[in-house]
Amino acid sequence: MKPILVTGASGYIGGRLAPLLVQQGRVVRCLARDPRKLRGRIWDERVEIAAGDVLDAESLRRALEGCGSAYYLVHSMAAGERGFAERDRLGAKTFAAAAAQAGLERIIYLGGLGRRSDPLSTHLASRHEVGDILRSAATPVIELRAAMIIGAGSASFEMMRALVEKLPIMICPRWVMTRSQPIAVRDMLAYLTACLELEPRGRILDVGGPDVLTYREMMLRFARILGLRRLIIDAPVLTPRLSAYWVNMMTPVPAGIAFPLIEGLKSEMVCENDEVRRLIPLEPLGFDEAVRQALEETKQHEVATRWTNASVDGRRAESFDPALFPIQDVQTAVASVSAGVLFDRVRRIGGDVGWYYADWLWRIRGWLDRAIGGVGLRRGRRDPAHVLIGDAIDFWRVGDVEAGRRLLLHAEMKVPGDAWLEFRVEPLGEEQSTIIQTAYFRPTPFWGWLYWHALYPLHRLIFHGMVRAIARAAEAR
């Protein structure tokens, strides 16, 4: 059996598709810019992991060697990267050439709905362009074109949920009257895996659920499922950019990701052909049932992947070298518990648990970050107890984790420099251990130094109190 290459395996869809293929008995090879991001998952030892990037032809050649099929699930917009359209264009060209050279049997690509005759947003136009580029080479391409994906952890789902839960009265722009055909993530994955059984020839298949709804109808249905009553008022003067800033303040989704999503909502995203129903027998879930399943998964903490999997700036923990950071604040505390119990408190930091000390100051910092276009604190956590490399924890990103010993966080808030926060736990005996907390900061010239020294009293207060509060929480546990 030839391996199947999954690009974007650390992303929202790829991180769910890879284990599903393994369950089906497939031989799976995952391409990842940072292979460590796949470490710690229950399926990581059952797949081959190839380090590489779709912009690097040589790494693609190695990753595609011997493969029969490949999933192209790469999208730079997911990381909020500027110039994502150009990056996606170059990535598609490089991948198409490498696939042809490797003699790949098929490429399965997940694109977006939207009529080409309509004026498309930059986001949707880029999705269509990537499909065209992949088809320009010799390898047959099966392109699945979808609208909003409803699933626990998806950006669209969490954005809609936050708006419905927080706002009894919503003032919305004209795009709330645009029609869309959402699809449950369960059904999206079923279509993707079924494409491996189709004849390897070029196809463009529109996929969606059974319901065609306006975004207004979706939000009102969502509210009813939550047992809420909501009023939606149209405001034609709200531009996509203003809407994105509003979403940035009211939901976990930052403006850099919200804007291309909202801009794309101006175009109808409805299936134009039903060929997929003839080729793949599947009864997709309706909108209401898809929402209920996503809410239940969230309640049970069964969110396998989340939109926050994509790093804001793409920096990796390999670049972390303590010697490069001129400012280091070290705090320690001793707890009368085992190292395992102490680390259990460390790994639960952030999200609903908070930061153990002066949470009101952390919230103020989060509000300020949101106000200047940062991610803020609202991203929370994927799971309340477990962390994986690449997980987002509020406005931090997990750079490294060693079970029972170390947690390394990289700052993704707006800050004039580069900031990391490290927790180390060391045993002092069977029922005693110590926590060593180190804040690292590499300031930009002038502004970074001014920022650190101006806020040093607060930083000192927070870091000093936090490490001791963690030790006390472990002892109380």
List, for residues 347-383, the tens digit of each pLDDT value: 999 999 999 999 999 999 999 998 887 888 888 999 9
> What does the alpha-carbon distance between residue 45 and residue 428 come to, in Å, rounded to a whole number?
33
Number of neighbouring beta carbons within 10 Å of residue 201: 9
What pLDDT is recorded for position 120? 76
Quick one: which of 2, 8, 17, 28 has its CA closest to 104?
A: 2
What pLDDT is recorded for position 265? 72
Distances (CA, A) of 290 to 14, 16, 185: 19, 16, 8
Which residues 6+ apart lie within 8 Å of 347 measured at CB?
385, 386, 387, 401, 407
Which residues 6+ apart lie within 8 Å of 143 measured at CB?
109, 110, 111, 131, 134, 135, 203, 204, 205
The reported pTM is 0.88
Distances (CA, A) of 383 to 12, 27, 304, 329, 388: 14, 28, 9, 28, 9
Q: Exposure string (b/e) for 319-331, b if CB count within 10 Å is 16 or more?
A: ebeeeebebebeb
Helix (H) or strand (E) holding 360: helix 359-371
Quick one: which of 193, 186, 211, 379 has its CA closest to 297?
A: 186
Phi, psi for 74 (deg, rounded to 5): -90, 135
Number of neighbouring beta carbons within 10 Å of residue 318: 10
DSSP assignment of 62-122, as one string? HHHTT-SEEEE---GGGGT-TTHHHHHHHHHHHHHHHHHHHT-SEEEEEEE---TTSPPPH
What pLDDT is recorded for position 409? 96
Query: Any idea what the Cα angle at residue 10 is, between residues 287 and 78, rounded to 5°?
Result: 60
Given a contact cutoff of 8 angstroms between Cβ atoms, the answer to whether 225 and 288 are in contact is yes
What pLDDT is recorded for position 41? 84
Given a contact cutoff of 8 angstroms between Cβ atoms, the answer to whether 365 and 375 are in contact is no
Q: Exposure string (b/e) for 139-153, b if CB count within 10 Å is 16 or more?
A: bbbbbbbbbbbbbbb
Name the stretches of the chain with pLDDT < 70: 77-82, 236-241, 310-318
Domains of the chain, each with CATH number or no CATH? 4-306 (3.40.50.720), 319-476 (3.30.530.20)
What pLDDT is recorded for position 421? 97
What pLDDT is recorded for position 311? 59
> What does the alpha-carbon distance between residue 183 and residue 179 come to, in Å, rounded to a whole number?
13
Given a contact cutoff of 8 angstroms between Cβ atoms, the answer to whether 407 and 422 are in contact is yes
